[in-house]
């Protein structure tokens, strides 16, 4: 992952971080295949294909269409969160509160609608406001204090974890929310956030569609808009970005709010798929989102990465996690297998990009 | 930096949220079914109050935050405390070292009795000895059925996880199950492993185990789906907690599997699923009773010198089966979150 697409100095150049970058004369033109391999998402794509082919051979049930749909479903719930987490990382920050924020949103929607006996859509809207506010708070604190986002979001992570539990207990008297599946608007909301449709006899969960649509939008924004340039610029060098007129504060806060939006979305999926939410869930998920982004080629130092890379990163997570089960391996080794496969995939990814960038 | 627009949005955000909430409430978008209004106001069991002198009892468990099960234990303990004129001090931490510190904290507070769970008995050995030296009676609950006497605890209230597993295994035999999968939501948890091992001991069919990531429901759902697809012969899914049983129902339907679902532990949604028939039965270790008896026993000891179980035998609170035949009697209590 060493040599990836780095931040352009944020001058008012046209969007130019796409593959067809104008050569700057310092290097001679290299073969297309090598230039392609040098892109972070190509490395992770090959890693994902390797893992996929491996399980196609090792686990016969994976060859079935409905198994693939199941793997993609698992990948999509990770992937929808991995996208904004990746954008945020390109922008030079990261968010440890992303895992519990999903549960905060689901709890808010459920309790607001249930306790006031409202149509569930009221809860959905309030949860969106709360999620965006959490994102705003994270971003605002990071920008205002200049402290590392690690510290700020570790703080909000702990706060949200405590608040999730304490408020749920206070409001419902239990640590899980009440079942809202009989309430007005539930079926409608379930259609939006948690339904599935039939493609050739295979049930496809709607989150897969959202995942790919969000990824396409994120890629377009990152590569073809001014905002995308700003994201690379603030992640590359905040001060020089500010010096050339990039609105650093706006960009960073909006990225955190984007994470909030995705947390709301996945939270709504959890709520409308499972009817109730336990307040202790979500802890540890933030690391999975961050891993998917890193495997997908986003640098922990910011300024580099893509939106399509994390799609393959999330797929790899889902593929390995479910592939182990389809292959019927000894479950005691489950986490160890997961770690080895992911490390292996990252190493392939690294090797590919090193080979490709070596002259 | 556009600070002015920031501070403006900051000032307005709460107001907007509040106004939106108020508008929603007033605009009549209220739900005609479900919701708080349909839920009857429900209080736990209450039975007068003791006139014995006020005493303080500490309950220290290995609960991880936000777990429905422990909430029920605590409610039972609180009910006994209210009745016995006891001040209940509750604390919990899943790490054994921290739990030991919390027990030490209770000793330092000079409480009149301590109730603890022994998920990791060795780590609590020293601090239990300290409590005894300080003359504070200690009872055990929930986990540690094989260790409480070794550590010198006075009494024990709980379920033998292996015994409960064995009972469930026998039940699977009666139901004619041939191949079952035991779903562990927290890899490496002793109590959960003992349950599956117990099932394995008595179940005559084939039993496999499956580890799932319990903090992420979508992942639990896909992993169980994957297992049911991988092995089409599975005819029973055994989960070790109520929320996972409800998810397993969805997995079975996703996988197009006819597997039936059985589980350990109850909650109010689960009782509904049992009466509907989507879940076959649950093994209930009566967490409310565990919390209640632990506190009540310390009160009895202090005021009348009694030992439950005669100080020799554990007092077993499970396994009690809940199935279609008795679910209606249990459902009302589960709805209050006490069963």
**DSSP secondary-structure letter at A302?**
S
- Exposure string of B231-249, with b = 16+ CB inside 10 Å and e = fewer, is beebbbbbbbbbbbbbbbb
Nearest CA to A38 out of A356, A359, A298 is that of: A356
- Token pair of B129 as six digits: 């000895």
Maximal CA-CA distance, chain B: 74
Give A-chain residues touching B254 at CB under 8 angstroms: 70, 203
Average the pLDDT over each of A100-114, A304-318, B57-71 and give the range with the smallest value.
B57-71
Q: What is the pLDDT of residue B40?
A: 45
- Token pair of B312 as six digits: 């020799």
Give A-chain residues touching B38 at CB under 8 angstroms: 117
- Token pair of B50 as six digits: 């003791």
Question: pLDDT confidence of B276, banded at 50, 70, 90?
Answer: very high
Distance CA(A189)–CA(A196), nearest Å, equals: 13
How would DSSP label each residue in B95-154?
A: SHHHHHHHHHHHHHTT-SEEEEE-SSHHHHHHHHHHHHHTT--EEEEES-TTTTTTTT-S
Q: What is the pLDDT of residue B256?
A: 92
Minimum-distance CB partner of B65 among A133, A161, A176: A161
Distance of residue B37 Cα from the nearest chain A Cα, in angstroms = 6
Minimum-distance CB partner of B33 among A77, A183, A321: A183
Average the pLDDT over each of A213-222, A239-248, B11-20, B244-253 and give the range with the smallest value.
B11-20
In chain A, the percentage of residues whose pLDDT exceeds 90 is 63
- Token pair of B204 as six digits: 């005559």
Q: Do B230 and A61 touch (CB under 8 A)?
A: yes
Higher pLDDT, A72 or B21: A72
pTM summary value: 0.81
Question: Closest residue of A to B221, CA-based?
Answer: A74
Question: pLDDT confidence of B45, banded at 50, 70, 90?
Answer: low
In chain B, the percentage of residues whose pLDDT exceeds 70 is 88
Distance of residue A262 Cα from the nearest chain B Cα, in angstroms = 15
Average the pLDDT over each of A239-243, A350-354, B266-270 and give the range with the smallest value.
A350-354
Dihedral of CA B166/B172/B176/B178: which sign?
negative
Q: Which residue has the tokens 């005559």?
A: B204
Cβ pairs bridging A and B (under 8 Å): 195
Give A-chain residues touching B34 at CB under 8 angstroms: 114, 117, 179-184, 186
Minimum-distance CB partner of A326 among B226, B256, B268: B226
Q: What is the pLDDT of residue A109?
A: 96
ipTM field: 0.80
Q: What is the pLDDT of residue A213?
A: 97
Kindly tell me if the per-residue pLDDT of A1 is higher than 80.
no
Question: pLDDT confidence of B317, banded at 50, 70, 90?
Answer: very high
Distance CA(A254)–CA(A132), nearest Å, equals: 9
How would DSSP label each residue in B165-212?
A: HHHHHHHHHHTT--EEEEEESSTT-HHHHHHHHHHHHH--SEEEEEE-
Distance CA(A78)–CA(A289), nearest Å, equals: 6
Minimum-distance CB partner of B36 among A114, A185, A282: A114
Q: What is the pLDDT of residue B39?
A: 57
Q: Do A114 and B34 touch (CB under 8 A)?
A: yes
Q: Do B71 and A174 touch (CB under 8 A)?
A: yes
Tens digits of per-residue pLDDT, B104-122? 999 999 999 999 998 888 8
Q: Is B238 helix (H, G, I), strand (E, B) or coil?
A: strand
Question: pLDDT confidence of A9, banded at 50, 70, 90?
Answer: very low
Mean pLDDT value across chain A: 87
Q: Do B34 and A59 touch (CB under 8 A)?
A: no
Nearest CA to A94 out of A330, A243, A299 is that of: A299
Q: What is the pLDDT of residue B20?
A: 62
How many residues are listed for chain A in this entry? 359
Kindly tell me if the per-residue pLDDT of A13 is higher than 50.
no
In chain A, the percentage of residues whose pLDDT exceeds 70 is 89
Cβ count within 10 A of residue B1? 12
Cβ count within 10 A of residue A108? 27
H-helix or E-strand spanning residue B247: helix B242-254
Q: Do B68 and A179 touch (CB under 8 A)?
A: no
Minimum-distance CB partner of A276 among B2, B13, B269: B269
Mean pLDDT value across chain B: 87
What is the arithmetic mean of pLDDT over A16-42?
63
Distance CA(A232)–CA(A306), nearest Å, equals: 10
What is the arithmetic mean of pLDDT over B226-230?
95
Question: pLDDT confidence of B25, banded at 50, 70, 90?
Answer: low
Dihedral of CA A225/A226/A230/A233: which sign?
positive
Minimum-distance CB partner of B31 among A179, A183, A325: A183
Beta strands in chain A (DSSP E): 196-199, 202-205
Distance of residue B190 Cα from the nearest chain A Cα, in angstroms = 13
Distance of CA A103 to the CA centre of its chain: 15
Kindly tell me if the per-residue pLDDT of B279 is higher than 60.
yes
Most A CBs within 10 A among B1, B9, B33, B35, hence the mutation to make, goes to: B35
How would DSSP label each residue in A219-255?
A: HHHHHHSHHHHHHHHHHH-HHHHHHTT--HHHHHHHH
Give A-chain residues touching B11 at CB under 8 angstroms: none
H-helix or E-strand spanning residue B58: strand B55-61
Q: Which residue has the tokens 């967490």?
A: B287
Q: What is the pLDDT of residue A140?
A: 97
Q: Do A70 and B20 touch (CB under 8 A)?
A: no
What is the dihedral angle through the alpha carbons of A213, A218, A224, A228, rounded to the nearest 10 degrees? 170
Q: What is the pLDDT of residue A3?
A: 40
Question: Closest residue of B to A251, CA-based?
Answer: B1
Q: What is the pLDDT of residue B12?
A: 58
Q: Do A67 and B68 touch (CB under 8 A)?
A: no
What is the arithmetic mean of pLDDT over A118-145?
96
- Exposure string of A149-184, with b = 16+ CB inside 10 Å and e = fewer, is beebbeebbeebbebbbeebbebbebbbbbbbbebb
Distance of CA B215 to the CA centre of its chain: 15
What is the arithmetic mean of pLDDT over A293-310?
87
């Amino acid at each position: 992952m060493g040599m990836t697409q780095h931040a352009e100095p944020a001058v008012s150049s046209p969007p130019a971080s796409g593959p067809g970058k104008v050569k700057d004369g310092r290097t001679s033109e290299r073969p297309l295949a090598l230039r392609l391999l040098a892109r972070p998402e190509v490395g992770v794509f090959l890693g994902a294909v390797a893992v996929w082919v491996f399980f196609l051979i090792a686990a016969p049930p994976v060859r079935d269409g409905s198994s693939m749909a199941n793997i993609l479903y698992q990948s999509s719930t990770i992937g929808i969160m991995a996208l904004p987490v990746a954008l945020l990382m390109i922008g030079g920050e990261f968010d440890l509160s992303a895992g519990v924020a999903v549960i905060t949103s689901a709890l808010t929607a459920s309790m607001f609608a249930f306790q006031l006996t409202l149509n569930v859509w009221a809860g959905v809207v309030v949860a969106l406001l709360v999620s965006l506010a959490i994102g705003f708070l994270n971003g605002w604190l990071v920008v205002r204090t200049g402290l590392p986002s690690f510290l700020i979001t570790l703080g909000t992570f702990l706060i949200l974890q405590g608040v999730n539990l304490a408020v749920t207990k206070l409001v419902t008297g239990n640590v899980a929310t009440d079942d809202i599946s009989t309430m007005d608007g539930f079926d409608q909301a379930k259609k939006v956030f948690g339904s599935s449709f039939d493609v050739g006899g295979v049930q496809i969960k709607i989150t897969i569609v959202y995942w790919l649509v969000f990824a396409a939008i994120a890629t377009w924004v990152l590569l073809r808009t001014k905002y995308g340039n700003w994201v690379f610029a603030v992640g590359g060098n905040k001060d020089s970005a500010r010096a050339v007129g990039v609105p650093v504060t706006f960009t960073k806060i909006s990225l955190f709010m984007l994470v909030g939006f995705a947390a709301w979305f996945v939270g709504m999926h959890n709520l409308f798929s499972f009817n109730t939410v336990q307040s202790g869930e979500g802890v540890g998920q933030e690391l999975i989102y961050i891993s998917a982004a890193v495997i997908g080629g986003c640098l922990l130092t910011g300024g580099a990465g893509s939106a399509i890379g994390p799609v393959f990163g999330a797929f790899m997570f889902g593929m390995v996690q479910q592939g182990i089960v389809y292959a019927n391996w000894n479950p005691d080794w489950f986490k160890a297998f997961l770690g080895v496969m992911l490390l292996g995939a990252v190493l392939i990814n690294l090797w590919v990009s090193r080979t490709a960038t070596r002259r | 930096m556009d600070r002015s627009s920031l501070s403006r949005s900051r000032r307005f955000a709460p107001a907007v949220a509040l106004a939106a909430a108020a508008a929603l409430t007033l605009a009549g978008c209220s739900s005609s079914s479900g919701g708080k209004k349909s839920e009857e106001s429900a209080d736990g069991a209450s039975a007068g109050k003791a006139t014995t002198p006020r005493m303080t009892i500490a309950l220290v468990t290995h609960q991880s935050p936000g777990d429905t099960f422990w909430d029920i234990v605590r409610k039972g303990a609180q009910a006994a405390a209210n009745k016995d004129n006891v001040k209940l001090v509750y604390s919990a931490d899943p790490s054994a070292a921290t739990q030991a510190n919390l027990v030490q904290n209770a000793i330092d507070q000079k409480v009149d009795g301590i109730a603890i769970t022994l998920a990791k008995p060795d780590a609590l050995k020293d601090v239990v000895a300290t409590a005894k030296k300080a003359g504070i009676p200690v009872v055990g609950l929930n986990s540690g059925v094989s260790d409480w006497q070794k550590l010198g605890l006075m009494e024990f209230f709980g379920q033998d996880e292996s015994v409960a597993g064995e009972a469930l295994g026998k039940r699977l035999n009666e139901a004619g199950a041939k191949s079952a999968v035991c779903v562990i939501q927290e890899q490496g948890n002793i109590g959960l492993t003992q349950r599956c091992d117990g099932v394995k001991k008595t179940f005559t069919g084939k039993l496999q185990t499956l580890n799932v990531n319990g903090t992420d429901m979508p992942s639990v759902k896909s992993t169980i789906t994957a297992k049911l697809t991988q092995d089409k012969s599975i005819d029973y899914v055994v989960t070790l907690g109520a929320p996972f049983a409800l998810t397993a129902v969805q997995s079975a339907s996703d996988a197009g599997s006819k597997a039936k679902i059985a589980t350990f532990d109850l909650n109010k949604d689960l009782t509904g699923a049992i009466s509907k028939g989507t879940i076959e039965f649950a093994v209930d270790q009566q967490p409310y009773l565990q919390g209640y008896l632990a506190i009540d026993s310390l009160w009895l000891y202090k005021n009348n010198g009694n030992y439950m179980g005669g100080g020799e035998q554990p007092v077993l609170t499970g396994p009690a089966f809940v199935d279609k035949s008795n679910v209606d009697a249990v459902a009302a209590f589960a709805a209050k979150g006490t069963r």
